[in-house]
C-alpha cells in the first residue's frame, strides 16, 4: 500500500478551508444509517411524485426526447412557466427572462455566479438553509447574516438592521420568503421597501420563492415580481420540488432582468447544459395539471401542523411559532445550547432525526427543525417517541 503524499501547499481552493462545516448533512446521514430511525430532518414530503408527471417521462423517453437541451431550457417549458406566472400571479414575464435550471438551489448558484466577484458580500436573512450559504461561498462571496427575532408569537425582520449591514462591498441581498425553516413570509409592503432601497443603490436581490405556493390559508405568498420593475437587479428563484413532490428530479427555474439572459445561458452551458430533456417535459405537465395535487398536499400539511402544535404545547420549555407557510416546525428549547448534540442524542435515544437549528445560523443553536410533511401515522409515531426526550 502506497503512503499518501503530503503536499507542501494546499492543492484545493482556499474556500474549502474557510467554508463553515455542514454538520446538518452529517447528522442526516447518521440518522439514515440507524435502522428504524424516523427522519423528519429533510425538507420533503412522504407523497411520491404524481403518476401523471411520471407518465410524461416514460412517454418522452419512448419518443426519443433524450437529446441536449441547449441554452435556457426547452421553449415549451419556458412558455408554460410564463403561463403559470400569468395565471397564478398575474405576472407577464417574457421568455428571454426565464431560464430552466437543475433545481432551485442551482438557480441560486447560477444567479450568484453571474454577479459575484471574489470577496463580494451577500446580506442574508437568517435562519437560512445551509446550502445557500455554501453555494455563496463557493461562488466567491461572503454571507453577512441578519437574524430574525421571535417575539409575540411571530417572526420579525428589522429592516433597519438589515439595511444597516450594507457596505461598499455589498453586492446582493438574499431573502427566502416564505422562509425555510420558520415559515415567515415577507409582506408586500416590506418587499416594496427592500426593492426601493436596493434600486437606489444598485444592489442585487436574490429572492428565493420556492415555498411561495405552500401557504396554509391562501393560494400564494407575496412575490417580489408583484412589485418589481423589469430592469430591477432582481433574480427570482423557483422550483418544482416542494409544490409537486419532485425533490429528486432537480428541476427549477430562474427569472432575471432582461439583460441577464446571455449570462445565465453561458453559465448553464459551461456547467451542465441544463436539466435532462425528458424531465423538462415532465415539468410542463406538472405546471399544467398539478393544482389538484398541490391542494392535496396542503390539506395534509395543515392537518399535520396541528398535530405538532398540540404535541409540543405540552412542554413549557418549548416555544413554537405557528407558521403561515411551508411544512416545518422550527421550535426553541429553553436551556439548550448545542442543537447539533441534541439532534444526535435524539437519533441515538429515541430514533427520531431532526435538523439542528444551528445549521440555519449561529443564533439558532437552541432550535430544532421538524418537517411535518410525513404521513400522519409516521408523524404521530415520531411525536410519541420525542415526548420522553423533551420532558
Supply the pLDDT for residue 391. 84
pLDDT tens by residue, 173-189: 999 999 999 999 999 99
pLDDT tens by residue, 137-146: 999 999 999 9
Task: Give me the residues paired with residue 204 across strands.
Answer: 172
Name the average pLDDT for the chain: 96
Supply the pLDDT for residue 386. 98
Supply the pLDDT for residue 3. 60
Q: Given this structure, which CATH class describes domain 63-290?
A: alpha beta
Q: Taking 60 as the threshold, does the pLDDT of residue 228 lie above it?
A: yes
| CA–CA gap between residue 221 and residue 212 (Å, rounded) | 5
- Rounded-to-10 torsion of CA 172, 86, 80, 237: 20
User: Are the CB atoms for 98 and 78 separated by under 8 Å?
Assistant: yes
Supply the pLDDT for residue 2. 62
Q: Tell me what the mean pLDDT of segment 249-271 comes to.
A: 96
Q: How confident is the model at residue 7 (pLDDT cuts 50, 70, 90)?
A: confident
Annotated domain spans of the chain:
15-48+292-390, 63-290
Q: What percent of the chain is modeled with pLDDT above 90?
A: 92
Q: What percent of the chain is modeled with pLDDT above 70?
A: 98
Supply the pLDDT for residue 20. 74
| CA–CA gap between residue 320 and residue 219 (Å, rounded) | 24
Q: Taking 60 as the threshold, does the pLDDT of residue 42 lie above it?
A: yes
Supply the pLDDT for residue 18. 77
| CA–CA gap between residue 122 and residue 157 (Å, rounded) | 17
pLDDT tens by residue, 81-136: 999 999 999 999 999 999 999 999 999 999 999 999 999 999 999 999 999 999 99
Rounded to two decimals, the pTM is: 0.94
Does domain 15-48+292-390 match CATH 3.90.1150.10?
A: yes
Beta 98-101 vs 121-126: how paired, if at all? unpaired
Q: How confident is the model at residue 389 (pLDDT cuts 50, 70, 90)?
A: very high
Q: Tell me what the mean pLDDT of segment 249-258 comes to.
A: 97
Supply the pLDDT for residue 132. 96
pLDDT tens by residue, 301-312: 999 999 999 999
Task: Give me the residues paired with residue 101 across strands.
Answer: 252
Supply the pLDDT for residue 4. 66
pLDDT tens by residue, 235-246: 999 999 999 999
Q: Tell me what the mean pLDDT of segment 268-294 comes to.
A: 97
Which of 19-33, 54-68, 271-285, 308-322 is predicted least confidently? 19-33
pLDDT tens by residue, 327-382: 999 999 999 999 999 999 999 999 999 999 999 999 999 999 999 999 999 999 99
Amino acid at each position: 500500500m502506497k503512503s499518501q503524499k503530503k503536499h507542501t501547499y494546499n492543492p484545493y481552493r482556499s474556500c474549502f478551508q474557510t467554508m463553515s462545516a455542514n454538520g446538518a448533512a452529517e447528522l442526516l446521514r447518521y440518522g439514515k444509517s440507524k435502522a428504524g430511525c424516523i427522519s423528519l430532518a429533510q425538507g420533503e414530503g412522504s407523497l411520491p411524485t404524481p403518476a401523471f408527471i411520471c407518465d410524461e417521462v416514460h412517454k418522452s423517453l419512448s419518443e426519443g426526447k433524450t437529446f441536449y437541451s441547449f441554452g435556457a431550457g426547452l421553449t415549451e417549458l419556458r412558455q408554460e412557466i410564463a403561463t403559470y406566472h400569468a395565471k397564478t400571479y398575474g405576472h407577464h414575464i417574457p421568455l428571454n427572462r426565464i431560464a430552466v435550471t437543475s433545481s432551485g438551489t442551482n438557480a441560486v448558484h447560477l444567479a450568484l455566479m453571474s454577479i459575484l466577484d471574489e470577496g463580494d458580500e451577500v446580506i442574508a436573512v437568517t435562519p437560512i438553509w445551509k446550502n445557500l450559504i455554501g453555494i455563496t461561498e463557493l461562488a466567491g462571496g461572503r454571507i453577512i447574516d441578519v437574524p430574525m427575532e421571535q417575539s409575540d408569537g411571530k417572526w420579525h425582520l428589522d429592516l433597519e438592521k438589515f439595511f444597516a449591514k450594507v457596505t461598499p462591498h455589498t453586492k446582493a441581498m438574499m431573502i427566502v420568503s416564505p422562509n425555510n425553516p420558520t415559515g415567515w413570509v415577507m409582506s408586500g409592503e416590506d418587499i416594496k421597501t427592500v426593492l426601493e432601497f436596493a434600486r437606489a443603490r444598485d444592489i442585487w436581490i436574490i429572492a428565493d420563492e420556492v415555498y411561495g405556493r405552500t401557504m396554509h390559508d391562501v393560494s400564494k405568498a407575496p412575490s417580489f415580481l408583484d412589485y418589481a420593475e423589469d430592469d430591477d437587479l432582481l433574480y427570482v428563484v423557483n422550483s418544482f420540488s416542494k409544490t409537486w413532490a419532485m425533490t429528486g428530479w432537480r428541476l427549477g427555474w430562474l427569472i432575471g432582468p432582461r439583460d441577464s439572459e446571455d449570462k445565465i445561458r453561458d453559465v448553464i452551458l459551461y456547467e451542465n447544459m441544463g436539466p435532462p430533456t425528458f424531465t423538462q417535459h415532465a415539468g410542463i405537465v406538472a405546471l399544467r395539471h398539478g393544482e389538484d395535487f398541490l391542494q392535496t398536499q396542503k390539506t395534509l400539511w395543515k392537518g399535520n401542523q396541528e398535530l405538532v402544535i398540540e404535541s409540543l404545547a405540552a412542554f413549557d420549555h418549548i416555544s413554537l411559532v405557528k407558521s403561515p407557510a411551508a411544512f416545518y416546525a422550527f421550535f426553541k428549547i429553553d436551556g439548550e445550547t448545542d442543537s447539533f448534540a441534541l439532534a444526535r442524542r435524539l437519533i441515538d435515544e429515541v430514533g427520531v432525526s431532526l435538523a439542528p437549528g444551528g445549521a440555519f445560523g449561529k443564533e439558532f443553536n437552541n432550535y430544532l427543525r421538524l418537517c411535518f410533511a410525513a404521513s400522519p401515522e409516521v408523524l404521530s409515531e415520531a411525536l410519541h417517541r420525542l415526548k420522553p426526550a423533551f420532558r
